[in-house]
Structures are given as structure tokens and as C-alpha cells.
Structure 1
Amino acid sequence: METIYTDPALTALYDTLNPAGEDTDFYLRCARSGDHILDVGCGTGLTALHLARHGYSVTGVEPAAAMLAIARQNDVGRQVGWVQADARTLDLADRFDLAIMTGHVFQVFSADEARAVLEGVFRHLRDGGRLVFDSRNPLHRAWETWTPQLSARRVHVDGFGIVEVYHAVTAVEGEWVSFVSEHRFLDTGALKSSRSRLRFPAASEIEAVLSEAGFTGIELYGNWLGGQWTPDSAEIIACARKS
């Protein structure tokens, strides 16, 4: 598992580096009154808690203990059911009206793993239940901006002071992009690195694997305002249902 998900000093930075935005609002708009929601790969629980604060019943699933510890700490009202589990082998008793996978978590899975995750989510949905998740569009080639010059930024993190962060691609191999994220803690001079590897599946592949998993009514959006997906879109936002 990537260091950014397991090192407490890096997981503490996560929400500051990845704050709520248009994507969080999009997932809130996907929810319907009375929905029981499953957040797969919930991380630090930012979206799960946002949904819970709007009155939804939410279960957050996350394999990384350090991430889940932050989620539980932030859930002062104990509004969310937190489960430490691997999405590929998920086996819960509950059934859900809506399942979400946010923050491009879909891209950490290989093709076989993605199929297992989608089949598992399908089993956990009620008839008529919906799945929504996002993946970066490979045609947009977002990784070309993951350089020290283009990606560098500084953020202030409570308890850590100013942290400088940048990404650097180390390999592009077919669908897979490998990169390193460097975190320099300016107050102490400490440097922490996290190596990551993400898959960039094509829109056609996402539609195909959803169909193979049993989903119907598949729709693709290209931005967080709900615009139709095109080859120029930065995002592939997939919505599908269990008939």
C-alpha cells in the first residue's frame, strides 16, 4: 500500500491537499432522499462525512488503517459506520441504494481487480441501486503536468506548518503511470516520499467492465457540472444502476 495511505505524517496532510470541491458537491447531488450510501475507498472520510451531515445513512469502507483513523477522529458525532476492508473482497450484510468511489480510487486497481470490485459493489446494491465513480480520462494526459515545476505547491497544515509538495512521473507503461510525491516539511527540513502507480482505463473499457459486472443504464459525464463526456474531458464520471 502506498506510503501516503499508511504514514501518519502523510495521511495527516491528505485533507488539506485534497479538500472538498466540485466533486464533493456532485456526489451529494447524486444522493436521493432516504438513500443508504456505501463509500468504497473512503479514505479520511471527507465525502462520507459530508453526506452524513446532510442526513444520509453512510457506511465508509477503507483498507488503510491510518486513513480510517483520521476518518473516525473527524466523525465526532459518530454519524458514519466505518469498516476496514478491502473493496476486492468486500462482504457486508447491508444492502445499499447508492455506492460511490471518489478521488479517482478506481485507478489504483488493475483490470482484474476493478472487475472484482465492481462485481462486489453490484452484490451490495439493492435492486435499482446506483453506482457512481470517477477516473481521469487518459486522452487528457493529466500526468504530463506531474512535474516538479508544474505541480509544486505549498500548504499550511495544522501541527506541521508549511509543507511543500510536488509530483514527478517516473514511468509511463501502457495504461499505467508511476510517479513519486515528495513532501518537504519546511519547519523541520524533513522530506517524505510516496511512490504511486495509477491505471488510466479508457472510457470504452469502463463501460465494458460495468456491463460485464451486471450494471445497466450506464452514463458517462466529463465534468463535475454533469456535462456529457467527450474525448476532451478531463474526467470520466461513470454512473450506472443495478436493474
Structure 2
Amino acid sequence: MLQGEFRDPRLVPVYDAECPWTREDDYFAAVAAETPGARVLDLGCGTGRLALGLAAAGHAVTGVDPAAASIAAARVRSGAAKVNWLVGTSTGLPGTAFDLALMTSHVAQFLVADDQWRRTLADLRRALVPGGRLLFDSRDPADRRWERWNPAETHRRTALPDGRVVTAWTEVTSVRGALVDFTHHYVFPDHGELLSTATLRFRPEEELRADLAAAGLTVERVHGGWGGEPVGAGDGEFLVLARRA
């Protein structure tokens, strides 16, 4: 299944178990905290880990994701009533409604096609108030992260809340220029192996800057790591903060 860990109810609990709160969430939460009580959009919110944390910190949070199974899981989590959950994409966002828009967990890289990416940026600019900010992460292609996505280095065993243990690994199936195709394998003790496929786009920094400028968003900074390191000296990331011009 395409992006099954978000869309398949059997895989959504595995995603939750594999992805607890980390310093990446701390980074996004710290930027949100610069505006107390901010109206925050979490686009591509998944099962709501960050959205719930931001709501608990006093922000007015809207979580949007195209995967209905992920939103269904988010809605039953503790504290979920504090978040406005929506199944959808950037297309239906209200205008001038948010102080801060976030795309975390490399959501930006799932927007593979040029028109989809540029339309999303335009939608986000429209959704932000004047002076509102957009923050997202995208892996630096110079880090060549995909070369480490192989069964040997990604093999893992994940315990689910119901006691089952899932064995998983990742393999890259194709590299087509800036596009990387890969498959997650999940082996369950009760119903065998499930597959989740996806494609990510690795955009260089200059391309990200140009696309943001074309959308009317001014780049304020780009960090290369979760500790605020410069590009090339951190974690192989682009952590991009831009503002509605």
C-alpha cells in the first residue's frame, strides 16, 4: 500500500510505536513557543503527536492530514478534544487563519510533483496571517540519507501496546535523480507481511529558497541540524523557517 503506515489501520499503531516524541518535536515546539497561544496549523499531522503536544502547551492547533486512518487514531488519543482535526490537504485551508504553519517528519518531501509542491506553498502562504511563519524539515540531498536505508541498517523489532512484536526493515527500490523510491516491510506474528511504499523528493537548498520566494514567503533561516547547527554541519537536514512577506 502507498504510505501504508499512515493509511492502513493495521500499520498506524506501528508508526505510533516507532515514532515517540523526540528532539525533532522539541525543535518545532520551541519555535511555536516564541508566539504564546499561537494559532498553529500542523499540515500532515499524522496521528497527532506534535499537534497534541502543542495544544497541551496552550496553542490553538489544527491538525490536517489526507490519511483518514491517521486522523481516526489521533481523535481517540488523550487530549485530542483540544485539537481541530481535519482529513484533507492544504487546498481547503481558510485564509489568514494561522500564526504558524508546520510540516514535520519530512512531509515536504512527500510532495513530489512540482505543481503539488508549489500549490501547497501558495496555499500555506494564503493560510498564514501577514507576518505568519512557515517551518518545515527536508533532508539535505548532500547527506545521501537514502544510502543508509537498507535491510541491515534499518532492521528493527517494535513492541505494540497489545503485546505483539512487529519486525520491520526498509529498502530503497529506485533512485531517479532527486526521487527516491523505497519500501517498508512489516512482519506481524498474526497476519504476515505488510508492505508500505513511498517516494520522497530530495530538493537542494537553493531550490527550496527559490520555490518559497516564488510563493511569497521570505526565508529567515535554514538550520542543518536539530541543535541549530548550520547547513552541512548538523544532522543532514534543512530546517527551514520562512515568513509571509
Deviation of residue 218 (structure 1)? Answer: 3.1
Match of 1:225 in 2: 227
Matched residue SS, 1:78: helix
1:232–1:57 CA distance, 2 compared to 1 (3 A): closer
Correspondence for 1:40 among 39, 43, 50: 43
Conservation of the 8 A alpha-carbon contact between 1:139 and 1:231: no
Correspondence for 1:213 among 215, 218, 224: 215
Matched residue SS, 2:61: strand
Report the residue type matching 2:151 in the other structure. P
Deviation of residue 92 (structure 1)? Answer: 2.1
Match of 2:65 in 1: 62
Correspondence for 2:84 among 81, 90, 112: 81
Report the residue type matching 1:128 in the other structure. G
Deviation of residue 91 (structure 1)? Answer: 3.0
- Inter-partner Cα distance in structure 2 for 1:224 and 1:232: 7
Deviation of residue 125 (structure 1)? Answer: 0.4
Conservation of the 8 A alpha-carbon contact between 1:122 and 1:215: yes
Conservation of the 8 A alpha-carbon contact between 1:216 and 1:241: yes
Per-residue CA distance 1:22-66 (angstroms, 9 max, x = gap)? 110001100121211000110101100010111111001111100
C-alpha RMSD over aligned residues: 1.5
- Inter-partner Cα distance in structure 2 for 1:99 and 1:8: 27
1:114–1:75 CA distance, 2 compared to 1 (3 A): farther
Match of 1:13 in 2: 14
TM-score by length of 2: 0.94
Match of 1:27 in 2: 28
Match of 2:194 in 1: 192
Per-residue CA distance 1:100-143 (angstroms, 9 max, x = gap)? 00000000112221111111000000011000000111110111
Aligned pairs, number: 241
Match of 2:157 in 1: 154
Match of 1:122 in 2: 125
Conservation of the 8 A alpha-carbon contact between 2:96 and 2:130: no
Conservation of the 8 A alpha-carbon contact between 2:169 and 2:185: yes
Match of 1:166 in 2: 169
- The reply on whether 1:143 has 2:146 as its aligned counterpart is yes
Matched residue SS, 1:169: strand
Report the residue type matching 1:216 in the other structure. T
Identity %: 37
Conservation of the 8 A alpha-carbon contact between 1:139 and 1:232: no
Per-residue CA distance 1:189-211 (angstroms, 9 max, x = gap)? 61111111111111111111011
Mark the runs of 5 or more structure 1 residues left unpaired by the alignment.
Answer: none
Match of 2:106 in 1: 104
Conservation of the 8 A alpha-carbon contact between 2:227 and 2:234: no
Matched residue SS, 1:207: helix
TM-score by length of 1: 0.94
Per-residue CA distance 1:176-197 (angstroms, 9 max, x = gap)? 0001100011x32611111111
Mark the runs of 5 or more structure 2 residues left unpaired by the alignment.
Answer: none
- Inter-partner Cα distance in structure 2 for 1:78 and 1:71: 10
